[in-house]
Amino acid sequence: MTSQAETSSSSTPVIRCDSVYKIFGANAKNMLDASNGIVDAAKFQEAGCIVGVNNASFEVFPGELLIIMGLSGSGKSTLLRCISRLTDATGGKIYIDGEDILSMNDKQLIELRRSKMGMVFQSFALLPHKTVLENIAFPLQVKGISTEASIKRAKEMVDLVSLTGRENYFPRELSGGQQQRVGIARSLAIEPDIWFLDEPFSALDPLIRKEMQDEFLRLQGALSKTILFVTHDFDEALRLADRIAIMKDGIIEQLDTPANIVLNPATEYVRKFTEEVPREKVLKIESVMDPFNPTQDMSDLKVPKNAIIETVAESILNSSKPVAVINEEGAIVGSLTASKVVNVLFGGHTGKSGEQSS
Amino acid sequence: MITTIKERKYLQFLLLLVVFYLLCLIVPPSDSNILWRFPPLLKQLPIIINDSVNYLLFDWWLIDVWDPDIEEFEQKPLVNLITRAFSGVILFMIEFIREIMLGGVKTIVTFSGWEWATANPWARWPALPWTVVAGGATIIGYALKGPRLALFVFFTFAYIALFGQWEPSMETLSFVLIAAPVSVLLGLALGVWAFRSRRVETIMNPLLNVAQIVPHFSYLIPVMIFFGIGDHAGAIATVIFATPPMVRLTLLGLKKLPPEVAEAGLMSGCNNRQLLLKVLIPTARRDILIGVNQVIMQCLAMVVIASLIGAKGLGNNLLIALNGLRIGLALELGVCIVLIAIMLDRLSLAWANKQTDYFADLSFVQRNKFSLIFGVVFVAGIILAYIGSFFFKDGFNYLYLIPHNKGITTQDFWQSGVDWIWDTFFYSLKGFNEWLIIDVLVPVKTAYLGMPVIATFTLVMGVGFIVGGTRVALSVGGFLLFIALTEWWDRALITAYLVSLAVVISSIIGIVAGTLCAQHPVTTRFILTVCDTFQTFPSFIYLIPVMMLFGVTDTSVLIAIVVYTTVPATRYTVEGLISVPAALHDAGSMSGVNRIQRYFSIELPMSFPHLALGVNQTVVFALSMVIIGALIGTDDLGQLILGSLSDRQGVGNGLILGLCVAFIGLAIDQIIRTWANQRKQALGLD
């Protein structure tokens, strides 16, 4: 959390949204102009307009993974499409690297997509008439890169997503997971700075989904892209995100780190999501530790402050004395007792008790 | 009482039939009675059309053109100049391809003029030896797909050459090789345009509907007036007829694409052109390729019809053979056309599905192996032809060009076969023919002609109302009114009689055969293959065998229509039945139904929308066939259209007659489609 705050103050955001609205319908623009920015979805619906995104403002920083979470119809995919300008936002401003993309003409937009953006789709959206290799090389070829160079690059991408040996397969000959690997490789072929993923793993079986999430984390560890990731799966969001934006009816209900969302849900709607979440799988040690008291009799065991509780719980429970919590430099920043961990693990699974315990 | 009628459709139909029957009894047949026949108020329409066409062609927008012969400016109408110029371009392209294969002088004349060409007799484009053309095509087949296609291509050309049909076949081929690509490109362009703009789509849809139902013959007349007579006119008529299905399937394919495909293309950085050519069209290629296949089939179906306005080649010869009742020759020519159709279809499919291998590190010889082999074939063919000129002294060099009708032939065999059938089955055939005509066809025809116009309207509009409410009733009534106000209502009734009889028979055959075959996967695949094969045959092919057996009678036409239209009826039945989900079968079985019960309570209702569309197709097919039946003599609308072909003032008549046929089709289409869509919605299939 603190590291997040540091990056935000030190660098400019890659993506910045300023009161973005997307309203579908014939008269949407006029109605929005007349509403002074206060959009009542029910009123708009009566007039035949459907509100997709309602006053979304946020920033995404370099190397950050922001997940937009919401159920179907919440406007999360619409928001993503506004930012990639696959649809034009009805109102507001969207900046990519400080440039206003809504005022870009077609040529600039194509240039932006060819150099900075990659996108992965829920239904994979591979070109059925092209092989794995040709699909991955496609964004390079439309850019005008020679066949030889683009195929060479595509081969590297095939290796990166572990599809070596299947270069000449057609999409129909691959499993869902493999197809999405191709989709990922295609979106990364031009080495984009910004990576959009629209429910990339939702169409996959649970086991494959887990495997692909691991693969995704591995890739992100190696590549450090700025990522906007859309999902309806709260567990997936908690597992992957730096920050999560939870959307409902086009409105961002809360935008915060996974731990803060679980510990301090902003609205009733968000609380419902967090209720069933096993918090030891989400929370880091630092969010439940006590302040360090030098006079205390400490165990020899030290745990890093950004470890997920579940991964160190067993050793803390086995230790009779409080355990020291250290930061990246190895300095002790807090302590944790077994009883505290027990409380997290088996205590009341509500947001309130979470607040008390921290 | 009234509420029960409102709820039960069959009671409504029953009531309608009673009213219809009463009207038939009450209204007396007399020409002065407006309830018996409407007055032909639209009688002047053909004349008005003729006058406007003539004005457009000869008097509208005159411009001065320099005439080098009389060295003076001459006034010529613009439209005429444009169409003549257009004809010239098309004709040049056809002649160019034709002369590559057959040799000639016209291409050279285009660039040098007749005087020069006559003065220099050496300036002739030499024909390629048939061995080179066949070899070249075989190599293309191999390069695109592999040995099986190559073998088929070779067989096709060998058949054509051996049976002495080389020249007409190459004439036909050169004509198709221009008409088909033009239709495909035009259809693709229009389809994309309609896809891009909703307004264009709304305008184009009804036009396509009409264009697909208006009989082939009707196109010929305006084309002939505007573009004259010859291969180019045939090609233009063919393009007009072959383009609509291409437009429709392009549009269908593009609309079916999920939005994510376009989005993926955009996010890959495509501009508009790249998105269209590299993403949308290739992704929609399944439907688009069906369109290409349709175009090729339409082109070859038009081969015979285009010969009526001067297209040379197989079609012309086939027509002559049919008229001369030379069944064997007609059969051989028909086989030529079918083989060319299948060959072009397979080649275009293979071309569209071709794949590149990026890994192969090839040497020059490997990369150019096909060109090199062709070079070898080229030289070898010419040497063979040269050697041949020493062997065959009497003017026919069989290794160069096999002269027309000098190949082997099986004519005598077929002719004796026909004779044998006649000798053996004369009485049974004649008996059947007479029985059909006297006991079935004539009574039905009389009944149709005995309907007062008011009764027909009540029946058709009533069905429209019961099925689809006021809107459908009114539009169906509109279609009928147009026909009733022309002077050809009686002829239209004759067309309707042949079509409805054929549709009933072929629907019954098709549904029964389809149902039986759909019971087992092996028979299912078998029947679908049979349907595929039959659909490759151009419609007039069916006229050959029936004429052989039944001569020039309504029986022949009826049987030809039935054979031709049973194909779509069967296909849609099978497809409808196999599209019923397996879970429903299982659910049925677990509820304890037996096979018959399952068919009637589950499969039939579930596949009803599909069946209805099959019947709809049957109607469209039957209409197009009944008009072609005019070639062997009927007395319906088709015969009149054929007649107006040879009439200088035939444009108006031809067009209005064509519209009459189209409106019969559209009226039936409207009713069946509304009904099928309602069932679809009720079953939640949409």
DSSP A279: G
> C-alpha angle B147/B525/B616, rounded to 5°?
115
Query: Pick the residue with more confidence: B108 or A9?
Result: B108
Q: CA angle at residue A349 from A343 to A351, to 5 degrees?
A: 105
The reply to whether residue A142 touches residue B274, judged by beta carbons under 8 angstroms, is yes
Does the pLDDT at position B140 exceed 50? yes
B164-312 maps to which CATH number? 1.10.3720.10
Specify the pLDDT at position A10.
54
Query: Same topology for domains B2-49+418-683 and B164-312, yes or no?
Result: yes
Q: Indicate the angle between helix axes B231-256 and B216-227, nearest 10 degrees.
A: 120
Q: What is the largest CA-CA distance in chain A?
A: 71
Count of CA atoms in the C-beta half-sphere (13 A) of B21: 6
| Local confidence band at A5 (pLDDT 50, 70, 90 cut-offs) | very low
Last residue of some domain: A245, A262, A277?
A277
DSSP letters spanning A330-341:
S-EEEEE-HHHH
- A-chain CB neighbours of B270 within 8 Å are 110, 142
* Co-location of A272 and A307 in the same domain: no
Average pLDDT over residues A199-209: 88
Neighbour count for residue B261 (Cβ, 10 Å): 21
Is 50 exceeded by the pLDDT of residue B470? yes
A116–chain B nearest CA distance, Å: 10
3-state secondary structure of B105: coil
Q: Is A183 domain-assigned?
A: yes
Averaged pLDDT, B525-541: 79
- Is residue A40 situated within a structural domain? no
Taking CA B392 as the corner, what is the angle to CA B390 and CA B393, rounded to the nearest 5 degrees? 80
A54 within some domain: no
As a whole number of angstroms, the distance between CA A259 and CA A244 comes to 10
Between B475 and A324, the higher pLDDT residue: B475
Q: Tell me, what's the pLDDT at B482?
A: 92
Is B473 a residue whose pLDDT tops 50?
Answer: yes
Nearest CA in chain B to A125: B261
What is the pLDDT averaged over residues A168-195? Answer: 91
Touching check for A165 and chain B: CB below 8 Å?
Answer: no
Whether A8 and A154 share a structural domain: yes
The top-scoring range by mean pLDDT among A43-47, B45-49, B395-399, B500-504 is: B500-504
Q: Note the pLDDT tens digit of each residue in B113-132.
A: 777 777 777 777 777 888 88
CA angle centred on A168, ends A165 and A170, rounded to 5°: 115
B99-108: average pLDDT:
79
Confidence of residue A356 (pLDDT cuts 50, 70, 90): very low
pLDDT for the residue numbered A347: 65
Find the CB nearest B282 among A84, A127, A168: A127
Three-state DSSP at A139 gives helix
Is residue A219 domain-shared with residue A91, that is, in the same domain?
A: yes
Confidence of residue A219 (pLDDT cuts 50, 70, 90): confident
Exposed, middle or buried, A295 (CB in 10 Å: 0-12/13-18/19+)? exposed
- Mean pLDDT value of segment B27-42: 80
Tokens read off for B668: 């039936």
pLDDT classification of B322: cutoffs 50, 70, 90: confident
Domain at A125, CATH number: 3.40.50.300
What is the mean pLDDT of the segment spanning B468-479? 91
CA distances from A103 to A25, A53, A94 (A): 21, 19, 9
Average pLDDT over residues B23-33: 80
Region B614-619: mean pLDDT is 88
Least confident of A197-201, B115-119, B302-306, B596-600: B115-119
In a domain, residue A21? The reply is no
For residues A261 and A288, membership in a common domain is answered with no
Are A319 and A286 members of one domain? Answer: yes
Contacts by B672-676, CB closer than 8 A, 24 or more apart: B672/B612, B672/B613, B672/B615, B672/B616, B672/B619, B673/B612, B673/B613, B673/B616, B674/B467, B674/B468, B674/B472, B675/B467, B675/B468, B675/B612, B676/B608, B676/B609, B676/B612, B676/B613, B676/B616
pLDDT at B508 over 50: yes
How many contacts does A have with B, using Cβ atoms within 8 A? 67
CATH number at residue A315: 3.90.1280.20
* Whether residues A88 and A204 fall in one domain: yes
> Hey, are the CB atoms on B264 and A125 less than 8 Å from each other?
yes
The answer to whether A247 touches A253, Cβ cutoff 8 Å, is yes
Q: Give the rounded distance of the alpha carbon of A23 from its chain centre.
A: 24
Angle between helices B216-227 and B45-58 (to 10 degrees): 30
More confident residue, A183 or A31: A183
Q: What is the pLDDT of residue A95?
A: 93
What is the pTM for the complete model shown?
Answer: 0.80
CA dihedral (B222, B227, B233, B239) positive or negative: negative
Kind plus residue range of the DSSP H or E element containing B22: helix B9-26
Q: Which chain A residue has its CA at the smallest distance from B357's CA?
A: A168
Kindly report, residue by residue over B639-662, the tens digit of the pLDDT. Answer: 888 888 777 777 888 888 888 988
Selected for mutation to probe chain B from A82, A87, A119, A202 (highest B CB count within 10 Å) is A119
Q: Which of A242, A277, A312 is the last residue of a domain?
A: A277
Residue A357 has pLDDT above 50, yes or no: no
Give the number of other CB atoms < 10 A from CB of residue B75: 8
Tell me: pLDDT of A110 over 70.
Answer: yes
pLDDT higher than 70, residue B1:
no
Domain that holds residue A80: 2-13+60-277
Same domain, A7 and A103: yes
**Which residue does chain B place closest to A189, by CA atoms?**
B268
Residue B360 has pLDDT above 60, yes or no: no
* Contact residues for B461 (Cβ-Cβ < 8 A; gap 6+): B473, B474, B476, B477, B480
d(Cα B580, Cα B96) in Å, to the nearest integer?
52
Selected residues 121-150 of chain A with any CB under 8 Å from a CB in chain B: 121-123, 125-131, 133, 138-139, 142-143, 147
What residues are paired with B74 via a beta bridge?
A: B65
Residue percentage of chain B with pLDDT more than 90: 16
Contact B670, B593 (CB under 8 A): no
- Please give the CATH superfamily to which domain B2-49+418-683 belongs: MetI-like (1.10.3720.10)
Among A133, A138, A168, beta carbon nearest to B268: A138
Is there a single domain that holds both residue A318 and residue A248? no
Of B219-223, B240-244, B279-283, the least confident: B219-223
Output the CA torsion sign for B444, B448, B451, B456: positive
Has residue A49 been placed in a domain? no
Q: Which of B267, B278, B287 to mutate to probe the A interface, most A CBs <10 Å?
A: B267
Q: Which residues contact B231 (CB under 8 A, 6 or more apart)?
A: B91, B94, B95, B171, B175, B310, B311, B312
Picking from A140-144, A253-257, B110-114, B221-225, which range would have the lowest pLDDT averaged per residue? B110-114
Q: Are residues A98 and A202 in the same domain?
A: yes
Final residue of a structural domain among A277, A303, A334:
A277
Mean pLDDT in residue range B382-401: 73
Question: What's the pLDDT band for B395 if we cut at 50, 70, 90?
Answer: low
From chain B, pick out residues whose CB is under 8 angstroms from the CB of A123: 258, 260
The answer to whether residues A107 and A226 belong to one domain is: yes
Determine the distance in angstroms separating the CA of A122 from the nearest CA of chain B, rounded to an integer.
8
Domain co-membership, A254 together with A343: no
* pLDDT greater than 60 at residue B36: yes
| Domains of chain B by residue range | 2-49+418-683, 61-119, 164-312
Q: Which residues contact B80 (CB under 8 A, 6 or more apart)?
A: B57, B58
- The pLDDT value recorded for residue B355 is 65
At residue A252, the pLDDT reads 92
Going by the DSSP 8-state scheme, the letter that residue A198 receives in this structure is E
Q: Where residue A7 falls among pLDDT bands split at 50, 70, 90?
A: very low
What rounded mean pLDDT belongs to chain A? 85
Residues of A in contact with B359 (CB under 8 A): 167-168
Query: Nearest-CA neighbor of B459 among B183, B158, B667, B212?
Result: B667
> What pLDDT is stored for residue B362 in this prediction?
64
Percentage with pLDDT > 90 across chain A: 32
Give the closest of A125, A142, A168 to B263, CB-based. Answer: A125
Least confident segment among A133-142, A254-263, B33-42, B536-545 = B536-545
- Confidence check on the interface: ipTM exceeds 0.90, yes or no: no
What is the tally of structural domains in chain A?
2
In percent, how much of chain B has pLDDT > 70?
96
pLDDT given at position B153? 94
Residues A199 and A345 in one domain: no
Mean pLDDT value of segment B214-242: 86
pLDDT of residue A153: 92
Q: What is the pLDDT of residues A240-286, one digit of tens each?
A: 899 999 999 899 999 999 888 888 889 999 998 888 887 777 788 87
Say whether A139 and B355 touch across the interface (CB within 8 A). Answer: no
Q: Out of A121, A151, A167, whose CB is closest to B264?
A: A121
